[in-house]
Structure 1
Amino acid sequence: MLNNLSPQNPDPIMQLITLCREDPRETKIDLGVGVYKDGAGNTPVMRAIRAASKKVWDNETTKVYTGLPGDPAFGKAMRDLVLADSVEGSRVAAIATPGGTGAIRQAFELARKANPDVTVWTSNPTWPNHLAILKFMGLPNTEYAYFDEASCTVDFDAMMDSLQGVKAGDMVLLHGCCHNPTGANLTLEQFGTVADLIADKGALALVDIAYQGFGDGLEEDAAPTRLLASKLPEMLVAASCSKNFGVYRERVGCLMAISEDASITPNTQANMNYLNRIAFSFPPDHGARLVTTVLTDDALTADWKDELETVRLSMLGLRTQLSEELRQRTNSDRFDFIAQHRGMFSRIGATPEEVLKMREDFGIYMVSDSRMNIAGLNPTTVPLLAEAIAKSCK
């Protein structure tokens, strides 16, 4: 029977990793995979996570299952981190999931359970896995305009025009901060306008927040999600801890559902528990416990915030350096937007042919749509990238 399985296209980012690994050039630069790297090219374990690991090891007395939603303390810690006091805690149901991807998948499942006819609206472009999951699930998907390829900024007027087609019962997927793959974000005021439209349409917002703390700061990056939560009667939030806690391989995610009032929350929670049960029974706990330990210990929280801020400022510095290097090499402000983008990624507007030229001539490895991982750079490699861009992009 297995010989009936259809061949699968290889993941383009996984292909990039292989190609880069096999490239013998010492000057090659991997800007494909979305992980943070320090100046030495390593992805370190954060200090607070290392300390939390020891604390858990010293105090954990059992490996028995938690519950279907995971440890309630994790759900509360994530609610406080992402939503703060923007919504009453009694209106929020939460489940732990295997990574942010698991949270997204469970959000789609919950929306389909609530409305079998749901259409999911996603930005053009969006994280490719959003679209892959929707396609696999057979859920209808409509794209809304978002990114202006010429200016590499948000085309908000076109976005609002697109969203006029949203119907009651549809779901609109929004990136809470650090838009992936473009790095171009809505302003807080624009998020408010989108919230009003979603409320008027009777739709459901799903916020994917995978990079809180990587953009303008922990509180600043959460502000759009909190604004939406304060304005909308109900909402879903898929949060990932992979990037801001550096626990990539631990697969730590959380799905939160805000119900219209507290009386609905128990049933929402029961449905979310059920989705976990049929997908994987109990969610993984170790990574979630590390995150909870950090967020419930004042000293560890302070140290985590300090290191996260160092990471954020490092990426902003690389953005500024790259923008300035490109201004010098091109004698134009064409790439100034790179310094204005936020998060790990920027999409620089290069064609697939130009991306291929950079790979073949300069050993620069980025996704074919020209999305590059800023966190894959360091002050030494920025000039090399700037030279490649200047000589390859028309």
Structure 2
Amino acid sequence: MPSTFPPRTDPLWRLTAACDADTRPDRLDLLVGVYRDDTGSSPVFGAVAEAERSLAARSPSKEYLGPAGNRDFTNALTRMLFPSEDVRARTLAVQSVAGTGALRLLAELLAATGPDRTVHLGTPAYLNHRTILTAAGLRVREYPMLLPDGRPDPNASLAAVATAAPGDALLIQGCCHNPTGAAMPTQSWEELAHAMAERGVVPFVDHAYFGLGDGLDADLEGVRRMLDILPEAVVAVSASKAWGLYNERTGCAIVVSDDPARRALAHSVLETTARAGYSQPPDHGARIVHEILTRPELRTRWSAELDSMRLRLGHLREGLTDALVRRTASAEFEPLREQRGMFLRLPLSEDQMGRLRDEHGIHGLPSGRINLAGVPTLLVDRVADAITRVHGGPEAARPVLTGARG
């Protein structure tokens, strides 16, 4: 069919295709947010494999579940996310096609219930946030969320709320910010919640990396405190990272409201949107998560596996930061220690990231974001050498004997 519009491709997948075409045997793919172990594999959790064996032995039905998906899954997930019975009593949840699907469902809900609504989005932002919001017909107002040294500006979100109109939404990443690795202290969540309550601003929380920052409960504490304060919120949840279910496309769209009538309206909009978009979400990943969360021995095993991933990421971050500080004698890399989760945002320009790719076979995003989990422990020094060379520090690539700790 003829079109007057030029073809568009997602920049991340375009870069991924270029990485796949790189034939250098030592090239490193640090692009896509997938957890990898030191062998370069994205492992299946032991708890996930056991849950799958158990589900296969019981041969659960494959019948339709409806647009809201697996209610056992959404109930178990909301119990884990929100221990407060008061919060859960104000909550409705529908299963979605991963976290991206949850974001789109909730964006459609915000657009349907607030045609003049603006979503305030801190930048740098996750690549897909603006695309999803604008596709739903929402206006987006961006604001800078970082200080010049790369650390998060503690007042940026408060300033955005102060200029927002009643009914506007503020998009907040729950933890381990993508792409900056920024983490918001619990006290800041409470301050922000009070400011939003006063202004009438709705939080739109994107929670994808819980468990990979400071621990499962610590990563969820901020949003839990916020929901204790605010009458309404929407929360998009992904099961991709915390359970390693990347290609199972498992997520959840959650609405919290004090008003039962508004919850009923929200449920209707979410189901109608899902029905028009994909009819209903896939069930396999949802059954796996439900099985893990409701069997104590599997939940304990899953929690330990998730914690081991978090600890490895911490060791890699400290090791790479130590190596960069030693090589460059620059304080510019010190803020990397404060970042959390799977991603590390390097203080490199787009041109320097291009040199990292072209000269050293290390593929990251032009923004400076790399997937830290894609760095094998034994290659920390090689990565540090390459970063130092493109950064141009005074002691570029000085040999050292130690790599990442742990």
Code of the residue aligned with 2:35 in structure 1: it is Y
Given that residues 90 and 265 in structure 1 are in contact (C-alpha distance below 8 angstroms), is that contact kept between their aligned partners in structure 2? no
Aligned to 1:236: 234
Q: 2:151 aligns with which of 139, 153, 163?
A: 153
Question: For the structure 1 residues 158 and 203, does the alpha-carbon distance in structure 2 shift closer, same or farther, using more than 3 Å as the test?
Answer: closer
Q: 2:281 aligns with which of 263, 280, 283?
A: 283
Bigger drift between 72-81 and 248-257 goes to 72-81
Tell me how far 1:46 sits from its aligned partner. 0.7
Code of the residue aligned with 2:56 in structure 1: it is W
Mapped to 1, the partners of 2:150 and 2:330 lie a distance apart of 15
Tell me how far 1:196 sits from its aligned partner. 1.2
Question: For the structure 1 residues 86 and 372, does the alpha-carbon distance in structure 2 shift closer, same or farther, using more than 3 Å as the test?
Answer: farther
Matches within 5 A, 1:65-144: 65-85=64-84, 87-144=86-143
Cα RMSD, aligned residues only:
1.5
Mapped to 2, the partners of 1:163 and 1:367 lie a distance apart of 29
Bigger drift between 211-220 and 13-22 goes to 13-22
Higher relative contact order (CA 8 A, sep 6+): 1
CA deviations on 1:218-274 (whole Å, 9 max, x unpaired) are: 000000110111110010110000011000000001011001144643343233222
Tell me how far 1:54 sits from its aligned partner. 1.1
Mapped to 2, the partners of 1:71 and 1:18 lie a distance apart of 34
Q: 1:217 aligns with which of 215, 227, 245?
A: 215
Mapped to 2, the partners of 1:358 and 1:283 lie a distance apart of 39
Code of the residue aligned with 1:96 in structure 2: it is Q
Mapped to 1, the partners of 2:367 and 2:85 lie a distance apart of 36
What is the total number of aligned residue pairs between the two structures? 392
Mapped to 2, the partners of 1:279 and 1:106 lie a distance apart of 9
Bigger drift between 364-373 and 269-278 goes to 269-278
Q: Structure 1: any 5+ residue segments left out of the alignment?
A: none
Aligned to 2:349: 351
Given that residues 107 and 255 in structure 1 are in contact (C-alpha distance below 8 angstroms), is that contact kept between their aligned partners in structure 2? yes
Aligned to 1:171: 169
Mapped to 2, the partners of 1:387 and 1:87 lie a distance apart of 52
Mapped to 1, the partners of 2:365 and 2:356 lie a distance apart of 11
Partner SS, residue 141 of structure 1: strand
Aligned to 2:403: none
Given that residues 322 and 338 in structure 1 are in contact (C-alpha distance below 8 angstroms), is that contact kept between their aligned partners in structure 2? no
Percent sequence identity over aligned pairs:
34
Question: For the structure 1 residues 384 and 87, does the alpha-carbon distance in structure 2 shift closer, same or farther, using more than 3 Å as the test?
Answer: farther
Given that residues 87 and 228 in structure 2 are in contact (C-alpha distance below 8 angstroms), is that contact kept between their aligned partners in structure 1? no
Given that residues 147 and 155 in structure 1 are in contact (C-alpha distance below 8 angstroms), is that contact kept between their aligned partners in structure 2? yes
Partner SS, residue 2 of structure 2: helix
Matches within 5 A, 1:8-19: 8-19=7-18
Mapped to 1, the partners of 2:58 and 2:331 lie a distance apart of 55
Mapped to 2, the partners of 1:280 and 1:214 lie a distance apart of 30
Q: Structure 1 residue 309 and structure 2 residue 285: aligned? A: no
Aligned to 2:379: 381
Mapped to 2, the partners of 1:86 and 1:226 lie a distance apart of 12
Partner SS, residue 326 of structure 2: helix
Question: For the structure 1 residues 138 and 266, does the alpha-carbon distance in structure 2 shift closer, same or farther, using more than 3 Å as the test?
Answer: closer
Bigger drift between 211-220 and 88-97 goes to 88-97
Q: Structure 1 residue 294 and structure 2 residue 282: aligned? A: no
Code of the residue aligned with 2:192 in structure 1: it is V
Bigger drift between 13-22 and 76-85 goes to 13-22
Bigger drift between 53-62 and 16-25 goes to 16-25
CA deviations on 1:111-153 (whole Å, 9 max, x unpaired) are: 11111111111111111101112233332100122122x3111
Question: For the structure 1 residues 127 and 330, does the alpha-carbon distance in structure 2 shift closer, same or farther, using more than 3 Å as the test?
Answer: same
Mapped to 2, the partners of 1:24 and 1:64 lie a distance apart of 45
Given that residues 217 and 312 in structure 1 are in contact (C-alpha distance below 8 angstroms), is that contact kept between their aligned partners in structure 2? yes
Given that residues 94 and 254 in structure 2 are in contact (C-alpha distance below 8 angstroms), is that contact kept between their aligned partners in structure 1? yes
Given that residues 93 and 253 in structure 2 are in contact (C-alpha distance below 8 angstroms), is that contact kept between their aligned partners in structure 1? yes
Given that residues 234 and 259 in structure 1 are in contact (C-alpha distance below 8 angstroms), is that contact kept between their aligned partners in structure 2? yes
Q: 1:260 aligns with which of 250, 258, 263?
A: 258
Tell me how far 1:88 sits from its aligned partner. 3.2
Partner SS, residue 237 of structure 1: strand
Aligned to 2:243: 245
Mapped to 2, the partners of 1:100 and 1:165 lie a distance apart of 28
Aligned to 1:60: 59
Q: Structure 2: any 5+ residue segments left out of the alignment?
A: 393-406
Aligned to 1:192: 190
Aligned to 2:50: 51
Code of the residue aligned with 2:355 in structure 1: it is K
Given that residues 120 and 160 in structure 2 are in contact (C-alpha distance below 8 angstroms), is that contact kept between their aligned partners in structure 1? no
Mapped to 2, the partners of 1:87 and 1:97 lie a distance apart of 24
Given that residues 75 and 95 in structure 1 are in contact (C-alpha distance below 8 angstroms), is that contact kept between their aligned partners in structure 2? yes
Bigger drift between 243-252 and 273-282 goes to 273-282
Bigger drift between 274-283 and 214-223 goes to 274-283
